[in-house]
A and B are shown apart, each in its own frame.
Chain A
Amino acid sequence: MERKNFLKSLFVGAISAPAVLAACSKEEADAVTPATSGTSGTTGGTTGSSSCAVAPTETEGPFPTKVPASYLRSDITDGRTGYKLTAKITITNSNNSCAALAGALVDIWHCDAQGNYSEYGGTGMQSTNYQSVHFLRGRQVTDANGQVTFTSIFPGWYSGRATHIHVHVYSATGTSLKVTQIAFPEGSGSAVAAVNGYSKGMSGYTSNATDNVFSDGVSLELATVTGSTAAGFELSITFAVPA
């Protein structure tokens, strides 16, 4: 701080200047240092320990409260438009005669009608609005029947992949048990045919047989899908995981 300039510049508020200067003089020799130390806790104020800025002098609050990750929800639509999809996923324990596995975390994510995932744009890591960024991603804890239910939209498709939903199952303590994907029945009369790729159509669509994830056989990943574009679709599938 150059005190002369500072004084000169504050001529309009000379009465308040001494107090501000006193606050500054203690720390004015400090260099710029990372605000990683615990000092911010003692001042209750600015993390910049070196600056002469005044400390916050406001009524305490808002008080932080513990909140789960914004994934923890059953409706993952977040304003994305498309045909409604209700997904019922049942988790069983392959180490326990395929009995229902309660208390497991089930993460799902899928693309929107246009085939895009929620993510930071490219490698540039754009800033995002804090109100909503994690669309079509969600997490639920399985009930006593090993079941979770999500409300979403029917996924679109993108080049190189058949229609799919990603699933990651964790134990109650957070250990990864299974990373897999849900495949969709295709062909005439199927939901995939009814949705018809939304505005994209199906030209260039990758079928399950030629999809590089599903082409080795989809029997354990293929969901049952019923419903219509008018009424919405219901998906159900069971995954056995080693817990």
Chain B
Amino acid sequence: MAHHERVITLCYRKIITSSSARPWEKLVFEDTYAEFRLQAQFYNPERRHRTFGELLHHAPGAEQLHFLVSAAARGYVQQLQGLVPDVVNNLGKHFLKFSQFQFEIINSDLQDPARHQVAISFYAEPLTWLDTIGSYLLVADQAAPAGGEVLTHLFQIQPYLSIHALHPPR
């Protein structure tokens, strides 16, 4: 096992669109759209632009909208209580802890909420990657106690879940 034991950071990028159906997703969708419509006016005083893409292309500083609109999502991210949503281990339980996230606007349209799409990337706390079993990764929390048994999670890489970083061996 030890030959490929390493420490990794997983990233899960959750896409939220007008067809996202769950309550948390709908709240994030609605509130980030409302915030986008508020804040976009700062970069669009003559109301010449309609989409986020146009603003990015034409309005200096409009890339700050990712950050500015993220304030509408932050309260909802806090409601997740530090657990990455959607991703479960092979026991069907959420297990990925996070404290870092990044919000981005993918597309939006000041006149058409259906074209509003955002993503939240959750950066998980570092995990020790102990082994690979078929398409499953066997990982343990990095702060595993010395000696005694090491509690592990078995999970599968899935769409929008990726290994974001490898950490140098300790």
Return B113 CB to nearest CB of chain A, in Å.
14
Query: Could you say which of A40, A42, A130 contacts B99, with CB atoms under 8 Å apart?
Result: A130
A119 / chain B contacts, CB cutoff of 8 Å: 64, 67
Give every chain B residue within 8 A of A99 (Cβ-Cβ): none
Interface-side segment among A29-37, A86-94, A187-195: A29-37
Q: A2-B134, A38-B19 are in contact. Are A176 and B45 (CB under 8 A)?
A: yes
- B27, B42, B66, B159: the one contacting A64 at CB < 8 Å is B27
Rounded to whole angstroms, the CA-CA distance of A58 and B35 in the bound complex is: 32
Provide the residues of chain B in CB contact with A57, threshold 8 Å.
Answer: 88, 91-93
Partner of B75, one of A45, A68, A123: A68
Whether the pair B91, A54 counts as a contact (CB closer than 8 A) is yes
Query: Which residues of B sit under 8 angstroms from A67, Cβ to Cβ?
Result: 27, 31, 75-76, 79
Residues in chain A near residue B161, CB distance under 8 A: 48
Query: Number of A residues contacting the other chain (C-beta, 8 Å)?
Result: 64
Whether A71 and B71, one on each chain, are in contact in the complex, defined by CB atoms closer than 8 angstroms, is: yes
**Given known contacts A57-B93, A70-B75, A127-B102, A179 and B45 CB-to-CB distance under 8 angstroms:** yes
A202 at the interface (CB under 8 A from B): no
**Chain B residue at minimal CB-CB distance from A58:** B93
Does residue B20 face the partner (Cβ distance < 8 Å to A)? yes
Q: Is the CB of B94 within 8 A of A9?
A: no
The verdict on B152 contacting chain A, using a C-beta distance below 8 Å, is: no
0 or 1 for each of A1-38: is its CB under 8 Å from B? (1 = yes)? 11001101110000000001000000000001111111
**What residues of chain B lie closer than 8 Å to A199, measured between beta carbons?**
none
Give a binary string over A91-131; 1 marks a CB under 8 Å from any B CB, 0 the rest.
00000000000000100000000000011100101111111
Which residue of A is nearest B88, CB measured? A56
Q: How far is the CA of A68 from the CA of B73 in the complex (A)?
A: 9
Q: Is A204 an interface residue (CB 8 A)?
A: no
Measured CB to CB, the residues of A under 8 A from B are: 1-2, 5-6, 8-10, 20, 32-38, 40-42, 44-58, 62-71, 105, 118-120, 123, 125-131, 133-134, 137, 168, 170, 174-176, 179
Cross-chain pairs A/B with CB under 8 angstroms, 18 sampled = A2-B134, A32-B159, A33-B159, A35-B15, A36-B17, A36-B19, A38-B19, A40-B20, A42-B21, A46-B88, A48-B158, A57-B92, A63-B23, A64-B79, A69-B31, A125-B102, A130-B99, A174-B37
